[in-house]
Amino acid sequence: MNSKEALQTLLEGNARYQAGECKMMNLPSAREELSRGQAPIAAIIRCADSRVAPEIVFDQPLGNLFVCGVAGNIPTQEIVESIEYTVQHLGTTLVIVMGHSNCVAVTAALQNEFVDGVFAQVALSPIPELDECIAFNAEHGIATILNRSYVLEQKVQQGTLRIVAGVQDIASGEFELVAQTSTE
């Protein structure tokens, strides 16, 4: 599945989630096939927040999403290497940096000056407003991924990989895109 199709599949799933019409049930009958391998349609870097669950938000079955989580949805070197794996070995064509409303990691970065660790890597907008910083941080994740991975940068330049950033509104469930590397 190409990145355009994968993104469309996820946005359609998000519309079902918002409407309360989810279809995915992850039935026991699917477990045998899952035990044989995976072919995720997208890789997602999400915040470690307990309210952010991509499989639910995008109404996807187990095996469709390669999910990596860390406070503030920061593409740390370890997460970037995990994304390289899914792109190179599992054929994933879409990467999503998924921010969310009311992010406590971004809030902490706004209220404190961290000199090291993951909170020091939160990218803050020149406009010091929480929603603006959440979107800015997600968008900045694209540049961080490209700066940390020659492999992924090359795939983007070749047009075989798209990286997008977006923000999930926890109250409504809506996932809104804020930036992307290409539009195919």
The Cα 144–Cα 123 span in angstroms is: 10
Tokens of 88: 């190179």
Is 100 a domain residue? Answer: yes
Is there a domain that residue 25 lies in?
no
The SS3 call for residue 98 is strand
What's the pLDDT tens digit per position in 56-115? 999 999 999 999 999 999 999 999 999 999 999 999 999 999 999 999 999 999 998 888
Query: Residue 25 above 90 pLDDT?
Result: no
pLDDT in tens, 125-178: 999 999 999 999 999 999 999 999 999 999 999 999 999 999 999 999 999 999
Q: Are 156 and 163 in contact (CB under 8 A)?
A: yes
Does residue 183 register a pLDDT over 80? no
The answer to whether residue 140 is domain-embedded is: yes
Q: Nearest Cα to 99, choosing from 43, 162, 144, 45?
A: 45
Structure tokens at 155: 């795939």
Compute the average pLDDT of residues 45-58. Answer: 96
The CATH number of the domain holding residue 124 is: 3.40.1050.10
Residue with tokens 């070197």: 77
Range of the domain at 94: 3-15+40-180
In a domain, 174, yes or no: yes
- Residue 27: pLDDT band with limits 50, 70, 90: confident
**40 with 65: CB under 8 angstroms?**
yes
Residue 28 maps to a domain = no
Total structural domains in the chain? 1
What tokens were used for 34? 């899952």
Query: Residue 94: inside a domain, yes or no?
Result: yes
Interatomic CA distance for residues 109 and 159, integer angstroms: 34
